[in-house]
Amino acid sequence: MNSPLNVAVFSSKPYDKRTLLKHDNNPNIQLTFFESRLSEETVSLVSQFDAVSCFVNDQLNHKVIKALKAAGVNAIALRCAGYNNVDLNAAKEIGIKVYHVPDYSPTSVAEHAVALILTLNRKTHKAYQRVKEGNFALEGLMGFNLAGKTVGCIGTGRIGLAFAKIMLGFGCNVLCYDPEPDPELHSLGVSYVALEELYCQSDIISLHCPLTKATHHLIDTASLQKMKDGVMLINTSRGALVNAQSAVKALYDGKIGALGLDVYEDEGSLFFEDMSEQIILDSVFQLLLTFPNVIVTGHQGYFTDIALDHIAETTLENLETHRLNQPSERQLF
Ligand code: NAI
C-alpha cells in the first residue's frame, strides 16, 4: 500500500489548515480540507478518500464508520488525544484503523486549567473591565492565597501530572486519585487518596481523566454533596464528566463556589464556531453563563503554538505510518 494517501480533513479551521500545510512536506499525503464537522449529515462528502482526519466533536458512530468504509476509507487519524467520540468497537469490527495524538502538549491543557483557577480566584477578567471604565474599586475582587490550599487532581496521566507539578510549585497540598498512580508524582510529594477523601478534603478539584462509561457524570449531585462548601471545580477534560444540571443546582446552593469549564457536555453544536449572531437554545449552557462565579472557555486548553505544531506533525506521521502499513503505538487497536 505505497500509493499516495488522499485524506479528507474535517473540522479544519484556518489555523489547522495553516499548521498542517506548514508541516506537510510529504508528496504522498494529499490533504483536502472541510470546515464542517464529520457527522451522519456530512459523511456523504467523503468519496475517493483513503483516510479521514477528525477532531474532538466529529461524530464517529457506527453509522458514520460504516459509511466511511463503504466510501473506501481505511483509516481515521484523530488530531486529538481523547477518543470518546469514536465507536472503537465499530471501527474494529468494520475494519478501519484509528490513530490519535496522545501527548502533543500536556502542559498546554494543564496551564489552561491553572489559568481558569487564577482567573476565578483573583477575578482578573472583572478587574480588566473595571479598570478600562475607570473603576478602581476593589470591592468584590478579593481572592485567596493558593499556597497552603488543598488541590484535588482526578486523573494523573500526562496532563494531570503536569497540572499537579504546577500546583505543587504554588505551594499547594496536592491530593490525587487515579486507578493507576504515577510513582514519579508520588515521589514529588503528592498523596494518592481514595476519591471520597479527595472530594471532602479539596478546596479546588480539577478533572484530568478521560471520558469513559465509568467516568460519565463522575461529578453529579451525589459526588458534589461530598465536597467542601464553596469548592472550586475545574473541567478541562471532557464535558460529560460533569452533569451540567447538577452543577447549576450546586452553584445555586453555594456548594460550588467557582466553576471553570473549558469543555461542556453538549459543546458539539456550539464550540469552535462564531455563534455571536445566533440565539443559543441550550438553556443549561445559557444559565451557566449568568453566574458571576463561572468561566467558560470554548475548548481552547490545547490551543497553543507548540501543541498545534505537534498535532500536525504527529497526525502526518500517523498517516504516513498507515500508508506504509507499519505498526504504530498511536494506533488505538
Ligand atoms: P492520559 O491517558 O495520559 O491520562 C489519563 C489518566 O486518567 C490515566 O492516568 C488514567 O489511569 C486515568 N484514569 C482513567 N480512569 C480514571 C478514573 N475513573 N478516575 C481517575 N483517573 C482515571 O490522558 P491525558 O493526555 O492526560 O488527557 C486527559 C484528558 O484530557 C483526555 O482524555 C482528554 O479528554 C482531555 N484533553 C482535553 C484537552 C483540551 O483542549 N481541553 C486537550 C487534550 C486532552
Q: What is the CATH number of the domain that holds 79?
A: 3.40.50.720
Catalytic residues, by residue number, are 238, 267, 299
Would residue 25 count as lying in a domain? yes
Q: Same domain for 55 and 130?
A: no
Q: Is 160 in the pocket of ligand 1 (CB under 6 A)?
A: yes
Over 70: is that where the pLDDT of 1 sits? no
Cα of 302 to ligand 1 centre, how many Å? 13
Residue 33 lies in a domain: yes
Contact 324, 3 (CB under 8 A): no
- The whole-angstrom separation of Cα 77 and Cα 9 is 9
Of 261, 257, 238, the residue nearest 116 (C-alpha):
261
What is the residue-averaged pLDDT of the chain?
97
**How many separate domains does the chain show?**
2
Cell of 318: 500517523
Rg of the chain in Å (alpha carbons): 21
Task: Indicate if 143 and 79 belong to the same structural domain.
Answer: no
Judged by average pLDDT, the poorest of 113-117, 125-129, 165-169, 183-187 is 183-187
The answer on 132 and 96 residing in a single domain is no
The answer to whether the CB of 79 is under 6 A from ligand 1 is no
Cβ contacts of 86 within 8 Å, gap of 6 or more: 54, 60, 65, 76, 78, 98, 332
Same domain? 208 vs 286: yes
User: Quick one: 31 and 170 in the same domain?
Assistant: no
Q: From the CB of 263, is ligand 1 less than 6 Å away?
A: yes
Whether residues 52 and 145 fall in one domain = no
Does residue 162 have a pLDDT over 90? Answer: yes
pLDDT given at position 333: 76
Decide: 178 in ligand 1 pocket, CB within 6 A. yes
Q: Does the residue 117 lie in any domain?
A: yes
Task: Write out the residue range of the structural domain in which residue 64 sits.
Answer: 5-104+305-323
Q: Output DSSP code: residue 51.
A: E
Residue 329 lies in a domain: no
Shortest-distance Cα residue to atom 15 of ligand 1: 209
